[in-house]
Amino acid sequence: MHPEKADRFSTAYCESTLRKRSRPTGYVLGAACKRWREIAHSTPHLWTTVVVRLKNGEVEQCAQFTSDWLSRTGKLPLTLDIYQPEGTQTFFGPPPAFDASPIFAAINAHSSQWETIVANIHCDLMQLLRGDGSGAPRLRTLDIATIDKRPSQNSLTPPLVFSLSGPMPRPTRVRLHQIRHPFAAVTWDSIKHLDIQEVSITECYDILQSGTNPVECYIEEIEITDEYEAPPPPQQFVLPHLRVLHLRWNDAQEVLLNALTLPSLSSLRTNGPLRVLPSLITRSGCKSTLTELILSDKDTTVFDLMHALENAPLLEQLSVSSLTLDDTLFEQLSSTTFFHPAQADADAQGVFLPHLMSLSIVSEPELFSFKAITSIFIPEREPWQEGWKRRPLFRFWLEVSDSDDGYEPLEWNMLDPWPIDPLIIVLLRAIKASGVDLRIYDGMGLDLFEYDERDN
C-alpha cells in the first residue's frame, strides 16, 4: 500500500476509535506488519490521545507503555484520559496505596503539550499530576473527578487536589466532580464552560466573583450548611456573557437567582421557585434572548408558571415537570395557535409564545384533559385574516406521572377510569400523522397509541 494511502487509512481508524480504551490505535496498526509499524511510529497524530489505566501491580509496565506512546507525539497537543478500573472507589477509609509516580513522571514530562485532561482517580494520585514546570500553557479542557470520599468544605487544611508546578493554567472548559473548587488551582476568569457538582452556596458566590466570563454554567447540588438557610450574597452578580445556566437538585436556587443579572441568557434550567423568574428576566433585560426554559418545581402554582412564561415571549423550547398542571397552559396556547407576524416580537402584547417549537411535559393525567392537547394543533377557530401564521410547534412530548414525582411509575393500565375518549385518540393520531413529533407515554415509556392498539 502506498504510504499516503496508509497514512489516510490510519488517520480514519484513529478517529473512529478515539474513545475506545481497549484499542490503542497506534499499537494496533503497528502490529499489522513492519511497514505499518514504520508508518504508525512516524505519524504523530496517531498517538495524541493517551489512555492511562492506573492499577497496582502494573506500574512499571504502564510507565514504559506511556513513555513510549508519548515519545511518538512530536509536539502535537495531547488529550489525556487517566482512570482507575472499576472497584477501586473508596468511600470509607484510605484508598489502596501504591506508588504510581513513574507513570506520572512520563505524563508530566509532556505537560507543555496537554490540551485536554480527563481524570477519574484517587485524590492522592491526582496530586501527582504536577507537570514539568511549564504550567500546561495549551490546556483548554479540564475534566477531573476523584473517587474518594469528598473532602469536607470545613476542612482546616484542604489539599490542592489539582495544582501544577509553574504558572497557573487557563482552561476554557472545566468540570469538577467530587472536587471543591478551591482545591483546583486554575485561573477562573478564563473559563467559558463550567460544570460543577456538590458545591456550597458560599462557594457558588466565590466562583461568581472569581470568574465573570462564563458562557455556559452547570451547577448540581448546591449545599446549605446553616440549618437550611442560605447566607445572603455579598453582591449582585452581573454575568454579561452567560447564555446557559442549568441548576439542579438544591434548595438554594431562589437566593442564587435573585443575586444574578444575566443580560445574554438564552437557556435556563431550574427546579427552584418560578416566582423569581419574572424579576430575573426583567432585571437582566433578556426577553429578547431567552429561548429555552426547563422547569421543575412541585410547589409552584399554574399562576406562577403562566406569569413566568408571559415574560419569555420568544421562547422556542419549554420543558415542564413536577408541576400541578391543569388545562390553563393548553387553553392559552390554543387561543393563539394563529397570529399576525407583527405580534410576534418581544414587545408585542396578546400573543402567547408565538415561536414555541418544542413542548415537553410530565404531569398527572387527572389534572388536565387530553382534549385540551388536541386544541393546540386543531383550534376551534381558523385564522380569519390573510398573512397570519401558525405557531411552529413541531414537537409535543407528554409523560403521564403521579403525585409522587415518579417514584412509582404510573402505567396506562393503572388509570381508572380511563381518561381518554376514543375520538380524542383518533385526533391525536391525525396530529401525529400530519408530521408533529407527538409522543404520549406512561412512566414505563409505553406509547399511548401502542397501548391503545394492544388493548383493542
Q: For residue 439, what are the domain limits?
A: 273-456
Identify the pLDDT of residue 16.
38
pLDDT at 150: 54
Q: How far apart are the first and last CA of the chain?
A: 62
Report in angstroms the alpha-carbon separations of 416 from 93, 344, 365, 410, 411: 52, 42, 11, 12, 11
Query: Residue 86's pLDDT is what?
Result: 67
pLDDT at 88 (0 to 100): 58
Give a yes or no: residue 190 inside a domain: no
Query: What is the model's pLDDT at position 96?
Result: 61
Residue 195 located in a structural domain: no
C-alpha cell at 17: 476509535
Q: Give Cα 101 distance to the centre of its chain.
A: 34
The per-residue pLDDT for 295 is 93
- Residue 446: the pLDDT is 93
What are φ and ψ of residue 216, in 5° steps? -130, 135
Domain assignment present for 410: yes
> Residue 381 is part of a domain; what is its CATH number?
3.80.10
- Structural domain count, the chain: 1
292 DSSP β-pair partners: 267, 317
| 24 within some domain | no
Q: Cell 473508596 identifies what position?
A: 90
Q: pTM of the prediction?
A: 0.84
What is the full per-residue pLDDT of the chain (456 aa) written as tens digits?
A: 444 544 444 443 444 333 445 455 665 665 557 777 777 777 888 888 889 999 888 899 999 989 989 998 999 999 999 998 866 555 545 456 689 999 999 999 999 999 999 999 988 899 999 999 988 999 999 999 888 765 555 443 446 789 999 999 999 999 988 887 778 889 988 999 999 887 778 888 888 887 778 999 998 877 766 555 677 888 889 999 999 999 987 667 888 899 999 999 999 999 888 999 999 999 999 999 999 999 988 777 889 999 999 999 999 999 998 787 889 999 999 988 888 787 777 666 678 999 999 999 998 888 889 999 999 998 766 666 777 888 999 999 999 987 654 457 889 988 888 889 999 999 999 999 999 999 999 989 999 999 988 766
Find cell 437566593 and name the residue. 255
Three-class SS of the chain:
CCHHHHHHHHHHHHHHCCCCCCCCHHHHHHCCCHHHHHHHHCCHHHHCEEEEECCCCCHHHHHHHHHHHHHCCCCCCEEEEEECCCCCCECCCCCCCCCCHHHHHHHHCCHHHEEEEEEEECHHHHCCCCCCCCCCCCCCEEEEEECECCCCCCCCCCCCCECCCCCCCCCCEEEEECCCHHHECCCHHHCCEEEEEEEEHHHHHHHHHHCCCCCEEEEEEEECCCCCCCCCCCCCEECCCCCEEEEECCCCHHHHHHCEECCCCCEEEECCCHHHHHHHHHHHCCCCCCCEEEEECCCCCHHHHHHHHHCCCCCCEEEEECCCCCCHHHHHHHHCCEECHHHCCCCCCCCCCCCCCEEEEEECHHHCCHHHHHHHHCCCCCCCCCCCEECCCCEEEEEECCCCCCCCCCCHHHCCCCCCCHHHHHHHHHHHHCCCEEEEECCCCCEHHHHHHHHC
Q: Has residue 136 been placed in a domain?
A: no
Cα–Cα distances in Å, from 283 out to 257, 288, 362, 452? Answer: 11, 13, 30, 48
- From 143, 83, 134, 82, select the one nearest 113 (Cα to Cα): 134
Distances (CA, A) of 258 to 203, 238, 262, 288, 289: 16, 11, 11, 20, 19
**Residue 41 falls inside a structural domain:** no
| Inside any domain, residue 438 | yes
Let me know if residue 309 belongs to a domain: yes
